[in-house]
Amino acid sequence: MSTNSATAQQAPTGKAPAEQERVSAFAGLSRVMLLGFLRDRGTLFFTLILPLLFLLLFGSLYKTSSSPQVKVAQVGAVQLLDHAQGEQQAELDKILKITKYQEQDQDTALTKVRKGELDGLVTSGPDGQVVLRFSVSDQVKAGSVQAILNSVVQSANQQASGKAPAFTLAASQVEDNSLKPIQYIAPGLMGYAIAMGAVYGASFTLVNWRKKRVLRRLRLTPVSPVAIVGARVGVSVAVALAQTGLFLAVASMPYFGLKLTGNWWLIVPLVVCATIAFMSIGLVTGAVAKTEEAANGLNQIIILPMSFLGGAFIPLDFAPGWLQTVSHALPLRYLITSAKSVLSMGGGVMDVLPSMGGLLVFAVVMTAIASRFFNWDDA
């Protein structure tokens, strides 16, 4: 039935008809992967929204806790505090936040001190005595409030004596004055977000395409493996750079106050290398796992400890020595420490180059491991 009618019609050429419009497999694949990312609400939430919420939360939290103000209740008149004026008043306001209470409200104020809502209660005693009552539930605050009031009393005494002080203490922080918690928090959470995006991007593509036989189907199209890998890396890097941009934009808002300095643009090649390293982790989990659920579990088992040990949530400076040693095996550590260095601490090319090299070596090793587990299909 077919062979006869075939002669009457134009035979297929096996080639696409000449068309003006030109399209490339690379562009087609990139589009597929980008749409897959943007249309997956779960992925969007975990790679963008959640880390950003963490940034807002931690950023605000550490911002207030870094304030050195000690809150005290002043019950009735206290000459020492009431008579502070001018410069003295300004100095006091920096370290003390005073709430005034009437004498009959003393019990209310005391309850607040017990609950830890206030750090101390000040009243006047007989003979110019200043009475301080405090709770030791927060030992740091208890120490501060004693020290502060003691120094206020001392300097008042010294002033009362009418002589210039014989000794003065000039204290200053060793860190640059502009160093704020956001400089630790932003690179850490950004690294966490990038790791999530890149690991999941690679592993889910691999698992889903294998499960849905897309990998096999692609083998029967003339698409080159270079186009597939290139498109996947391209899309993941684009997502990672978008995450970087978003994080830096949010952290640089005046409220959080991150100030980019010097060679901060070095973050771009650094993020590219880190993304490739994270993707290689995804390749391994994607090659081993048969389903998205299994891949999800494996990814979490890797990303969460890596984030804690790599300094994404807690600065590594506070970590014990053995933990710092462990962190040297984790690609996230290199991204976070180098990002911290180039973004706001004046790090240069030589600070990131070794990290970038290490990340790429890591990627090569993991990719080699992944290729040993790789299968075109489940059969």
Partner 1 sequence: MTAAISADGIRKRYGDVQAVDGVSLTVETGEFYGILGPNGAGKTTTLEILEGIREPDEGRVELLGLSPWPRNTKLLPRIGVQFQASAFFNKLTARETIRTFASFYGVGPKRADAMLERVGLTDSASVHTDKMSGGQAQRLSIACALAHDPELVFLDEPTTGLDPQARRNLWDLLRDINSEGRTVVLTTHYLDEAEVLCDRVSVMDHGKVLKTGSPTALVREIDDTVRVSVESGQLTAARARELFGTAGAEIANLEDNGASLSVSTRAPAPVLSVLAEQNALRGLEVRGATLEDVFLQLTGREYRA
**For partner 1, which residue of 146, 208, 263, 300 counts as binding (CB under 8 A)?**
208
Q: Are 190 and 247 in contact (CB under 8 A)?
A: yes
Closer of 41 and 163 to partner 1 (Cβ): 41
**Is 28 or 165 the residue whose CB approaches partner 1 more closely?**
28
Helix (H) or strand (E) holding 368: helix 349-373
Name the minimum Å distance from CB 283 to partner 1: 18
Q: For residues 20-79, which are near partner 1 according to CB under 8 A?
A: 20-25, 27-29, 31-32, 35-36, 39-40
Does 290 contact partner 1 by CB under 8 A?
no
Return the structure tokens found at 74.
């002043």
Q: Which residue, chain included where needed, has tokens 């918690």? A: 181
DSSP per-residue letters across 148-210: HHHHHHHHHHHHHTTSPPS-------SS-TT--THHHHHHHHHHHHHHHHHHHHHHHHHHHHH
Verify binding: residue 143, partner 1, rule CB under 8 A: no
Interface stretch with partner 1, choices 9-17, 56-64, 263-271, 353-361 (CB under 8 A): 9-17
Number of residues near partner 1 (by CB under 8 A) = 46
Among residues 94, 216, 290, 328, the one that binds partner 1 under rule CB under 8 A: 216
CB of 224 to partner 1, least distance (A): 7
Q: Which residues contact 210 (CB under 8 A, 6 or more apart)?
A: 375, 376, 377, 378
12 binds partner 1 (CB under 8 A): yes
| Closest by Cα among 167, 96, 104 to 132 | 96
> Binding to partner 1 (CB under 8 A): which residues in 358-377?
376
Query: CA-to-CA distance for 348 and 361, rounded, in angstroms?
Result: 21
As a whole number of angstroms, the distance between CA 173 and CA 235 comes to 44
**Binding region for partner 1 (CB under 8 A):** 1-3, 5-7, 9-17, 19-25, 27-29, 31-32, 35-36, 39-40, 208-209, 212-214, 216-224, 376
